[in-house]
Structure 1
């Protein structure tokens, strides 16, 4: 009866075509992929890198504020019980809560769309080395997960566990990016351990998300295709960040340890 009542409430919410029709999303992501891998680099090839510091600072602030909003809304929708990720939930027991569920899902969709700007900024600043396969995969896949949250979620507000953890990580990450963009060189060097910790935190969130999957599958049930796609994406992200961590930090650390000490008598 509760599931039926929840379904009736959800039917009262009209999902606009821009969220429901996947071709809107596919078109944007296709244009994004084309620009950051081909059109953008070709356009910038004979041009000087653009100075976009003010845009970068504004983007970081918007991301931090937006993620704080997501955290607050998730806590409200789950009655502050989002960390009990194994619980089966619905999208709301009142029209107001169901509407807030979808409003937050719509907001997250556009938030993930806005994150595509990061790659565009890399291209316009001629930082093409930062447009890695992991970076592009991460941004494209998060948009698709937001689409699934709107259209095929059958696990209620428990599905916001992923967005909740990711928003916490992003508050830390974009705050660091903001400080790094305005700080002087000595402070940036002092904050280097923070950058490493952010990568570890990102991997930690994926472990927690993957822990939720079997709990929700056994206790609440999940659509097989959604389960397969979601799990594949999260595992892919974890592997990508782990590979980055080992290549960026562990390899460099081994290089330092193998460097012969300088002779202070020379």
Structure 2
């Protein structure tokens, strides 16, 4: 645009042959200059916007690279740990199957008979959980940890690496436990596929990916070891239930399941909560501890709410169950010891004898029925 201001020659003529008066030449030049400045300002703003948009992906990449520099280098080459992309695809596929694809495929089909499959699956989870408990104990919780301010050991010490690998095993177990929901779908128990249930099984791999990636050890793993202990009991119950009515007599301890769950969440909340009152505990990524504490507190409240309505209130039925009590023999609602199979806040409760695969999931999300 600046070339246009000099387009008039010394004789006052433009390149097109049009002539101008000397006085008008200055006005035209001024007009062209002002137009050029205005155009330059507009173009400059647009250019800056385009450059900012172009640089945004680069900034994100740089931020991601800087963030990963803080990660634990020991776990970098372990399966699924290079980036969160692989696990994200798995979780998306899981959500799509249990909420959309699976129910559609099963809509006009008979439920699968998975009795033997579930017996093997549940006992496998029991064995896997026992192994993880042993590894957690040997790599720290029974071998040097104080149950107070236990920091993550990022060294290549064999004990520290063993703890990190146990954390990865627990992380991987969250993918295996997705089969709980898939069994629901294949057995056409879609009423059990609640939002809270699916959300829990979807979010656990993500939270534990960060745990293994940045903080594989220390006090943040106490809840994992404790949850493995509860899973031994829960999945043992599931397995025996799946074996059939002849084995129900061995499940006399099912009435203690809710108590076990409450004790678990109290212990997790108290253990993590002590970090808030510690004056000198230089945990490298405290945000992970807050996430664990919040998670334990939420489910403690949910279980206390259940306990209050099911026991303290004299096992009073929820309103939905009260309305359906007259129709209980025709609508599939069964009662045992005065407690109905019912759903509240997305969590299924029940102490019925019509149970085939569990009273309640070890993480407080669901119970399973036959």
Q: What TM bracket, shorter-length normalisation?
A: 0.7 to 0.9
Q: Please tell me the root mean square deviation across aligned C-alpha atoms, in Å.
A: 3.1
Q: Is the 8 A contact 1:83 1:161 kept in 2?
A: no
Larger radius of gyration, structure 1 or 2?
A: 2
Give the CA deviation at 1:123.
0.6
Give the CA deviation at 1:179.
0.8
How many Å separate the matches in 2 of 1:119 and 1:213?
29
The correspondence of residues 184-199 of structure 1 with structure 2, limited to 5 A, is: 184=245, 187-188=247-248, 191=251, 194-199=253-258
How many Å separate the matches in 2 of 1:205 and 1:20?
32
Q: Secondary structure of 2:315's match?
A: helix
Distance 1:236 1:55, change over 3 A: same
Give the CA deviation at 1:176.
0.8
RCO greater where, 1 or 2, for CA within 8 Å and sep 6 or more? 1
Note the alpha carbon deviations across 1:100-140, whole angstroms, 9 max, x for none: 12221221111111000010000100011111233223322
Aligned residue for 1:200? Answer: 259
Q: Secondary structure of 1:200's match?
A: helix
How many Å separate the matches in 2 of 1:42 and 1:98?
47
How many Å separate the matches in 2 of 1:134 and 1:194?
26
More helix by share: 1
How many Å separate the matches in 2 of 1:40 and 1:228?
35
Distance 1:23 1:14, change over 3 A: closer
- 2:209 equivalent to 1:209: no
Q: Secondary structure of 1:254's match?
A: coil
Give the CA deviation at 1:252.
8.2
Aligned residue for 1:161? Answer: 222
- 2:95 equivalent to 1:56: no
TM-score (norm 1): 0.79
Aligned residue for 2:297? Answer: 235
Tell me which moved more, 215-224 or 57-66. 215-224
TM-score (norm 2): 0.59
Structure 1 residues not aligned, in runs of 5+ = 1-9, 258-266
Aligned residue for 1:171? Answer: 232
Distance 1:79 1:202, change over 3 A: closer
Q: Is the 8 A contact 2:174 2:201 kept in 1?
A: yes
